[in-house]
Amino acid sequence: MNYNILEKENNILVIDNPNKRYEELKYNLKTNGSPVKTGRKVDGKDEYIKRISIAQLPNASALEVNTGLNINEIVVTSIECLAYRSSDKTYIPVPFISMANSNIGLNTKVNSNILYLLIETTIDRSNFSGWAEIKYIYNSNS
């Protein structure tokens, strides 16, 4: 089998295999760091990703998490969130819908043009921390 490995801008490793083609995205993403390019284009524009830590989920209430992203400058393409409890290594995808009504909701809110994540819990989830990754492109006015 013949494989061609090409590097582009030290961000993307493209593996070209006649039987299977895919791109492995390579970027150094730091929690609470600066946004980085994902290497993907959406509608012809570079996509960026920002990873944000969530120190503690709320106790049967709501928590607003500031992303630092100006909603007038971006178009969000994806939001992923994960809750983690270190005591027993439990991971919960957010949003989480439970038959036992122990849900964790994920929404967004805008305050003074800044995008916030809104995390709501129906029971005490304060023993969980978490992470959110927001992918976006810059809009045409930026």
Express each pLDDT in 64-88 by its tens digit.
999 999 999 999 999 999 999 999 9
Ramachandran bin of 98, using left for φ above 0, alpha for ψ from -120 to 50, beta for the remaining angles: beta
DSSP β-ladder status, 90-94 and 129-138: unpaired
* Overall average pLDDT of the 98-111 stretch: 82
| Distance of alpha carbon 33 from alpha carbon 101, whole angstroms | 34
C-beta separation of 92 from 128 below 8 A: yes
Q: Does pLDDT of 5 surpass 50?
A: no
Say what the pLDDT of residue 100 is: 74
Instruction: Report the chain's mean pLDDT, rounded to a whole number.
Output: 84
**pLDDT tens digits for range 114-142:** 999 999 999 999 999 999 999 999 998 65
In the chain, the percentage of residues whose pLDDT exceeds 70 is: 80
Q: Does pLDDT of 29 surpass 60?
A: yes
The domains found in the chain, sorted by start residue, are 1-27 (no CATH), 31-138 (2.60.40.740)
Who contacts 67 (Cβ-Cβ below 8 Å, separation ≥6)?
50, 52, 114, 115, 116, 117, 132, 134
Who contacts 47 (Cβ-Cβ below 8 Å, separation ≥6)?
37, 38, 39, 40, 41, 77, 135, 136, 137
